[in-house]
Structure 1
Amino acid sequence: MAAGRGYGTSVPLYQRTGPRAGRRIAPMKNELVSEIPFRRFFFIGGALSLAGLFIFVWMIRIQTSEAGREILDRAQDYKYTRKVVYPERGNIYDRWGHLLAGNTEVYELGADLRDMEDPDTIAMTLANVLGMDSSAVKATLTPIDEENKPIYVVLANSVPPEKIEEIRELSEQLQAQAERVDSKKYAEMPSLKGLIWTPRLQRRYPEGSLGSTIVGFYAYHDRQSPRGYFGVEGKYDHLLAGQPIEIRVPNDPYLIDKPPSIPPGASLMLTIDREIQGMAEQVIDRAVADNGAQSGTLVIMDPNNGELLAIASTPRLDPNEYWKYPEIFTANTPFNRGVEATYEPGSVFKVLTMAAALDSGKVTPETTFLDTGTITVGGIDIHNWDRGAWGPQNMIGCMQHSLNVCLAWTATEMGPSIFYNYMQRFGIGHLTGVDIAGEANWPLSVQGDPNWYPVNLGTNSFGQGLAATPIQMITAASAIANNQGKMMAPHVLKAVIEAGEQFDNPPQVIGTPISAETARTLTNMLTISLEEESSVALVEG
């Protein structure tokens, strides 16, 4: 009989008889289960819960950490390509609103190689519609390396809308024919499936080469980093281009959405007059041809405000075919000689010398000079252009007959210090700051420089032995022509049009090299010299 009966089955049993009397008898199986401590289950369950919580926390941390985001971004890179989207480029107009540079819609024509079914028909169609080489098109559509075969290939760029419409109509006709045949013959029908056309804007110059040396060009074929070159396109590229943005574009062409809307770049109104520019180009072209010259330049500026009305230069480029630039501008030929090419100005420089002599008080219009045909400066003899002696002359006669000897004499009367001080005040040897890309400059050598000699004072007085650009010369002359003695900043930008508003570019005075009285006196002297000579340079008014 079990000891302690009535106290439950957990009480141990003892054997009373036999050789093992008094020993403890093992409990039943259900009694063993009751002996296992429940804290073991709690420990294992808690450990697993903590491990799960740890894994969950680390998953959140990885996804929200910088390293995690980088991994996710890399994964997305396999699906997308980062692309810079450029806004619509601003237009360029002449002073009267005539379009000189704008944009037109064209298409990129490509093929999705996954959906393409008939490369032969595509190649033949592009050969007939676009004049492309069918074998070259087919080679692009059927790459040899199947493992690295692209999803999308570009077949043609800058396709005009009318050509795309022709291809679209043909594609629809072939599709309609294929749908009418038996399903077994469907695969044998010609198809343009896989062709994709994407619109984009392309720079357009409706006036062709007219004013092209002022406008410059936009290299739109450079899809990675298109920008403006030369002229206004180069100088104001940042305004015309607007603010580009970077977006992610799916590698699958069928997943490409419409690009986000971006504000267009600013439009520019120039001071250039299209009609005057056209006439100036005709005049300079005829002059080059008649004289057998290699090149020519003609600059027209309003001296009262510095507005450039025309700059005609040779050669010229049609910016619609800007890729021909290396063929036309060979051997470092300047794109716009008016601002990029220095030259010995010659006799036109005499106007600045006389202005300096009058303003410094060294001469008056009535000052007389006996021209013997020769003057010695720095030990070197200087002669007149015709090597003749013109006898007694006043300063009006010196200008009327363009006498080298007389102008060299006025320079020696001033001396190097006064003479070169005035030339620097006129801007010789300094950039004008004209808003056309590529302005050049040649330093003015003065007394004390290693390459200056005493004879330079004489030769410089009539524009030899120094160099300037046409834009420097016309800027200096504006101080005389406006009768105010004020030198105006040359510029081609009249106004900026942005966000529906027009911002005018006001004229600026960049120097006052001579007094208004000197300017009026010299203008009168030049007028008399032309009238007495009956010069063809005379104009009414």
Structure 2
Amino acid sequence: MSRSNFKRFSSRSKYPDKKSRFHRKSDSSNGRLRRSLPASGSKKRTALPQLRLLLVWGVLIGAMIGLGVKLYQLQIVQAPELQKKARSQQTVNLRPYIPRRSIIDSQGTVLATDRLAHILYVHPIQFKITKEEIAAKLSPILEDKTPQQLIERFKQRDTGIPIARGLTEGQAARIEKLRLDGVELNESYIRFYPQEKMVSEVIGYVDSDRNGQAGIERSQEKLLERDLLSLYVRRTALGEIVPAFLPQDLLKSNDLRVQLTLDMRIQRAARVALQQQLNKFNAKRGAVIIMDSTDGSLISLVCEPTFDPNKYYKSRIELFKNWTVTDLYEPGSTFKPINVALALTAGVIQPNTIIYDSGAVQVDGWNIYNATRTGHGAINIAQILQTSSNVAMVHMMRRLSRKDYYQGLQQLQVNKKTGIDLPGEVSGYLKSEEIFTKRGIEVATASFGQGLSLTPIKLVQLHGALANGGKLVTPHIVRGLVDVDGHLHWKPKHKVTQIMSPHVSRQVAEMMETVVTDGSGKASQILGYRIGGKTGTAQKAGPGGGYLPSAKITSFVAILPVDNPRYVVMTVVDEPQGANTYGSTVAAPIAKKVIEALIFLKGIPPSQHN
């Protein structure tokens, strides 16, 4: 075989079969792939997009639910809080200084008001000269502070030391002229009392923190504070300030003032009369109270000694209380007309009833005497009051059963507060019914005003019932809120209780008139006027029980005019010194001067029957 043929044979036989097999295999494989792949790929293409679609929809729905929940939280649940935060960020709340209401008397005289004053601060850390030099320059201007006192104040701390408050314009101008480093003047409003001491026991004072601390300033704090006004302004994006949330009554000013029932003219006359008598008898303290019994309004209330509310920090703290409403005392004989009214109401006596006064009586082993240590024989009820007989009062009140007497005292509300609009009032003291009804001595001492305690204002309230027809009115000082023209816009309501008949109260008032015309109250007589009265001289109870041997309290209570009773005047002098110190000699003369001023200033006409 030739080589060429061999090559051709080789080329045909070696590769064609293999190639053909390869091509066939490949073709068959491709064919099988082409036949099998379209079926499986179709299933995957349909399942996978559906799964993806479900996942996308799930995510979208979840996101929508989440957004809905968040919107609900923001728009509904957290909306008020977010609005508040937004408003606080966008607005500024301006609360300007609102002065307290002024206080005036019944005639319009200003008793308390707010005024601009200067406060002096020092900052020793900023001093450019020595403390001694600073003190030497300030002391002559401050007047009441020595250089050494100022130096001690400078040592307290390095900055912000208050030195003086309420400086006048003149003082402030002099300090500014010094141009001292570390010395600062600030303007501030302070409470100012033009009448100074004249009415301080009623008005009280306001401290440096603007809180009422005594008198009307304390008890009527809410009435004296004006409505706080808040002004809201909003910041724009450029930082400009524009109004926002302005109240409708922004331009309306609240100029109402607190008006009292006091008359400063009578207050001044009462204080002068009281001071003169206190000085004469070197007494511990005293008081004058004048009440209109028709409604309980107080025309005057004076206590001595007193304080200057403009300089309250210089006064003794015990002077800040009004002792006519905070201190109890045994009223003594000034309580006898009240007991007479109880006996008349019970029907155990009549005005013409005769009782024998032997000058002494023994009760439960105790001997009781008249103040004069003498008897007055057979006397009627008016004469019992005229002579202020203790013995006859014991016999008279014995006619009541102990239980009826005790219940009568309770009906008079002896042991209850009057409800006066001053702070610190205390209730009267009356022993328990068990003790009172068990021991005869309790009835005996109560018959002439001892063994029980009450406040001076309570005694005035009880005598007011004798003057107004038997009504227990509420003593008060606040008349109401008035405008600048004096028109009344608001007034308080007060309780009135009928505690005795008008007939009984009239009978007792007429008996009290005989005390002034024929008895111990002659020092209060005024020509042409019918005045009823009763003197009292009571021992003072000691702290450990019993009575103080050399301490007594003298008093006098008057009703006028008897033909048409309206006013009750009470004067009290505590611990007068000397031998001739009784209600008739110490307290009654004060009442006469006060009644004369009352008659003149109130225009009370003379009585028709003398």
Q: Same fold (TM over 0.5)?
A: yes
Cα deviation, 1:457-501, whole Å, max 9, x if unaligned, reads 11101101110101000100011123x112221111122136986
Letter in 1 for 2:204: G
Q: Please, what TM-score do these two structures have when normalized by structure 2?
A: 0.61
1:359 partnered with 2:349: no
- Identify if the C-alpha distance between structure 1 residues 288 and 452 changes in structure 2 by more than 3 Å, giving closer, same or farther: farther
Residue type of the alignment partner of 1:160: T
Give yes or no for contact 1:86–1:245 (8 Å, CA) kept in 2.
Answer: no
Query: Cα deviations across residues 77-100 of structure 1 (Å, max 9, x unaligned)?
Result: xxx9x9986520111111111111
Aligned to 2:198: 210
Q: Secondary structure at the match of 1:317?
A: coil
List per-residue Cα deviations over 1:218-262 (Å, max 9, x = no partner): 11x12xxx21122111111111122447899xxxxxxxxxxx999
1:410 is matched with: 396
- Paired position in structure 2 for 1:538: 525
**In the alignment, which residue of structure 2 is the partner of 1:33?**
none
Given that residues 204 and 320 in structure 2 are in contact (C-alpha distance below 8 angstroms), is that contact kept between their aligned partners in structure 1?
Answer: no
Q: Which runs of 5+ in 1 are unaligned?
A: 1-49, 144-151, 172-190, 249-259
Q: What is the Cα-based RMSD across aligned positions, in Å?
A: 4.6
2:169 matched residue in structure 1: 161
What are the within-5 Å matches in structure 2 for residues 273-288 of structure 1?
273-288=263-278
How many Å separate the matches in 2 of 1:86 and 1:297?
Answer: 38
Shift of 1:366: 0.7
Matches within 5 A, 1:141-180: 157-166=165-174, 170=177
For the structure 1 residues 452 and 342, does the alpha-carbon distance in structure 2 shift closer, same or farther, using more than 3 Å as the test? Answer: farther
Return the match for 1:98 from 105, 109, 112: 109
Q: Percent identity?
A: 24
Alignment of 1:42-191 (within 5 A): 86-109=97-120, 119-120=128-129, 127=138, 130-131=141-142, 157-166=165-174, 170=177
Separation (CA, whole Å) in 2 of partners of 1:403 and 1:142: 71
Q: Which of the numbers 496, 501, 509 marks the counterpart of 2:481?
A: 496
Residue 25 of structure 1 corresponds to none
TM-superposed deviation, 1:398 = 0.9
C-alpha distance 507-537 of structure 1, shift in aligned 2 (>3 A): farther
Contact 1:352 1:477 in 2 (8 A): yes
Are residues 363 and 275 of structure 1, via their aligned partners in 2, closer, same or farther at CA, if it must alter by over 3 Å? same
- 1:476 corresponds to: 462
Q: Map Cα deviations across residues 69-125 of structure 1 (whole Å, 9 max, x no partner).
A: 99999999xxx9x99865201111111111111122112456899xx9984499859
User: Aligned in 2, Cα 1:323/1:137: closer, same or farther, shift over 3 Å?
Assistant: closer
- 1:40 matched residue in structure 2: none
Partner SS for 1:210: helix
The C-alpha deviation readout for 1:128-157, integer Å capped at 9, x for no partner, is 7844868789889976xxxxxxxx886754
Check the 8 A contact 1:106/1:202 in 2, yes or no.
Answer: yes
Structure 2 counterpart of 1:316, one-letter code:
T
Residue 499 (structure 2) aligned to one of 500, 513, 517: 513
Structure 1 match to 2:434 = 448
1:315 alignment partner in structure 2:
305
Q: 1:85 to 1:229 in 2, by over 3 A?
A: farther
Matched, 1:269 2:259: yes
In structure 2, the CA distance between the partners of 1:230 and 1:111, relative to structure 1 (3 Å rule), is: closer
1:414-455 CA-partner distances (Å, limit 9, x unpaired): 122222222223221000001111112233124314897321
1:350 and 2:361 aligned: no
Matches of residues 12-51 of structure 1 in structure 2 within 5 Å?
none
The 2-side partners of 1:298 and 1:194 are apart by: 50
Indicate the structure with greater helix content: 2
| In 2: Cα distance, 1:381 partner to 1:282 partner | 41
Q: How do 1:321-340 residues align onto structure 2 when only pairs under 5 Å count?
A: 321-325=311-315, 328-330=316-318, 335-340=321-326
Preserved CA contact (<8 Å) 1:240 1:265:
no
Partners of 1:422 and 1:513 within 8 A in 2: no
C-alpha spacing 1:323/1:124, structure 2 compared with 1 (3 Å): closer
Counterpart CA distance in 2 for 1:142 and 1:490 is 52
Structure 2 unaligned runs (5+)?
1-62, 233-249, 530-610
TM-score (norm 1): 0.68
Partner of 1:241: 225
* Cα distance in 2 for residues equivalent to 1:403 and 1:138: 66
1:300–1:192 CA distance, 2 compared to 1 (3 A): same
| Distance 1:316-1:140 versus aligned 2 partners, 3 A rule | closer
Compute the displacement of 1:162 (Å): 2.8
User: Residue 11 of structure 2 corresponds to which residue in structure 1?
Assistant: none
Task: Report what 1:16 is aligned to.
Answer: none
The answer to which of 133-142 and 363-372 deviates more is: 133-142
CA contact (8 A) 1:428 1:472 kept: yes
**Counterpart in the other structure of 2:6:** none
2: CA distance, partners of 1:450 / 1:526 = 28
**Would the alpha carbon gap of residues 265 and 298 (structure 1) be closer, same or farther in structure 2, given more than 3 Å must change?**
same
Deviation at 1:296, TM superposition (A): 1.4
Deviation at 1:192, TM superposition (A): 6.4
Q: Residues 367-416 of structure 1: CA distance to partner in whole angstroms, max 9, x if unpaired?
A: 11111122333453322222212111111111111111111112111122
Separation of aligned partners in 1, 2:496 and 2:400: 24
Partners in 2 of 1:230 and 1:436 — Cα distance? 8
Distance 1:389 1:141 in 2: 74
Q: 1:142 to 1:208 in 2, by over 3 A?
A: closer
Letter in 2 for 1:427: Q
> Are the aligned partners of 1:119 and 1:138 in contact in 2 as well (CA < 8 Å)?
no
Paired with 1:65 and 1:509, the residues of 2 have a C-alpha distance of 49
Q: More deviation in 374-383 or 469-478? A: 374-383
Alpha-carbon contact 1:273-1:310 (below 8 Å) kept: yes
| Secondary structure, aligned partner of 2:356 | strand
Q: Residue 398 of structure 1 aligns to which amino acid in structure 2?
A: I
Would you say 1:431 and 2:417 are equivalent positions? yes
For residues 137 and 247 of structure 1, the distance between their equivalents in structure 2, rounded to whole angstroms, comes to 39
User: 1:386 aligned to 2:397?
Assistant: no
Q: Does the aligned pair in 1 maintain the 2:121–2:162 contact within 8 Å?
A: yes
How many angstroms apart in 1 are the aligned matches of 2:231 and 2:157? 28
CA contact (8 A) 1:211 1:277 kept: yes
Question: Which residue number in structure 1 is paired with residue 287 of structure 2?
Answer: 297
SS of residue in 2 equivalent to 1:296 = strand
Distance across 1 between alignment mates of 2:388 and 2:407: 23
The residue type paired with residue 161 of structure 1 is E
Per mean C-alpha deviation after superposition, the further-off stretch among 458-467 and 121-130 is: 121-130
Asked whether the equivalents of residues 486 and 509 of structure 1 are also in contact (C-alpha less than 8 Å), the reply is no
Q: Which residue type is aligned with residue 420 of structure 1?
A: Y
Q: What secondary structure sits across from 2:399 in the alignment?
A: helix
The C-alpha deviation readout for 1:146-185, integer Å capped at 9, x for no partner, is: xxxxxx88675433223334456x48xxxxxxxxxxxxxx
Tell me by how many angstroms 1:334 deviates.
6.9
246 and 444 in structure 1: CA distance in 2 versus 1, 3 angstrom threshold: farther
Given that residues 87 and 265 in structure 1 are in contact (C-alpha distance below 8 angstroms), is that contact kept between their aligned partners in structure 2? no
